Amino acid sequence: MQEFVIHRNISDDGIVEISQDRQIRSLYFGNDAKQSSMDLNQPERLVLSYTRAMMSCLLFHPTPKKILLIGLGGGSIAKFLLHHYPDCHIDAVEIRNDVVKLAHGYFALPEHPNLQIYITDAFQLLTNNKGRYKHYDLVLVDAFNHDGVSDSVKTLEFFSLCHQRMTHSAILSINLWDSHTEQCASTINVIEHTFQQNVLSLPVIDKGNLIMLAAREKNVLQLSSSRLEADHLEQTLGLEYSSMYRQLRRANRWRKLGKLFVRVDPGLG
């Protein structure tokens, strides 16, 4: 059985399509990249590998209470968190009102008292100090349009505002795309600068996505202390945390060595 379109609309913000293949329903923004997918039999399950990789942030902050989600899409991440963390409170930012309606109508996103959705630009929300909370435990950025990562979430100003809204032990997790391009490298440089190199990268295997994790505090992103947490989260949340942990160690080994060489070589900089 092939994927077939069950909904299509065009607005000033562009094309939105919803397609279905057996029990998997997916959201598209006018191109072939899946923005969100849902298993009709398990609506809270994270179908797409990049959404599961974004949850690697829980290795370092396993009990979040206040969460800022920038980019709602079909609501996959919001549903996952509300299911597994019923006491958490999520402020979700989505610029497209039609996408919010489709998330409720086609992707089983509940009207939930712990979920507040703001239909606005994320930069404007942060600039105007809106949202229910001054500081968040997790800041999850998955803001895409038909061209890729939204330009509004790639600037120094944006990441500085995120930094200001994070608790001292908070983690920022952002989904980037086309990880080998100069544009992606520029965004990574901005993140590293804003968070003073307190970052980790997690390439999504066999995909073009790259997840970047960033922390305000120096000792938050400690892989050495997250091994047992990986085993626990894998059992409780059903995600491949042991694999994520190994991939994080491999992907960031050279980053750590590079910092050492920068420190000992007085000729650099």
**Residue 269 pLDDT greater than 90, yes or no:** no
Average pLDDT rounded to a whole number, residues 125-137 = 95
Q: Which residues are catalytic?
A: 142
Q: Which long-range contacts (CB under 8 A, 24 or more apart) does 252-258 make?
A: 252/200, 252/201, 252/223, 255/200, 255/201
- Cα–Cα distances in angstroms (integers) from residue 246 to residues 5, 23, 52, 140, 194, in the given order: 38, 31, 15, 22, 26
Enumerate domains of the chain plus CATH numbers.
Answer: 44-255 (3.40.50.150)
pLDDT of amino acid 265: 39
72 contacts 78 by C-beta, under 8 angstroms: yes
Model pLDDT, residue 150: 73
Q: What is the pLDDT of residue 224?
A: 87
pTM: 0.92
User: How much is the average pLDDT of 164-192?
Assistant: 90
**CA 35 to CA 184: how far, in whole Å?**
18
**Model pLDDT, residue 145:** 63
Inform me whether the pLDDT recorded for 236 exceeds 90: yes
Share of the chain above pLDDT 90, in %: 77
Confidence of residue 229 (pLDDT cuts 50, 70, 90): very high
Confidence grade of residue 142 (pLDDT, cut at 50, 70, 90): very high
Confidence (pLDDT) at 198: 96
Angle, helices 156-164 vs 182-194, to 10°: value is 40
Q: Would you say 69 and 78 are in contact if contact means Cβ atoms under 8 Å apart? A: yes
Question: Which tens digits make up the pLDDT trace of 51-106?
Answer: 999 999 999 999 999 999 999 999 999 999 999 999 999 999 999 999 999 999 99
Q: According to the model, what pLDDT value does residue 267 have?
A: 39
CA dist., res. 27 & res. 74, Å (int): 7
The per-residue pLDDT for 30 is 84
Residues with Cβ within 8 Å of 139's Cβ and at least 6 positions away in sequence, in order, are 67, 68, 70, 162, 165, 166, 170, 171, 172, 173
Residue 140: beta bridge partners?
A: 69, 173
Residue where the block lists tokens 């920022």: 172
**Helix or strand or coil: residue 117?**
strand
Band (154; pLDDT cuts 50, 70, 90): confident
The distance of Cα 49 from the centroid of its chain, to the nearest Å, equals: 11
* Range from 40-49, 94-103, 149-158, 190-199 carrying the lowest mean pLDDT: 149-158
To 10 degrees, the CA torsion angle through 91, 93, 96, 100?
-20
Q: What percent of the chain has pLDDT over 70?
A: 91
Q: What is the structure's pLDDT at 148?
A: 60
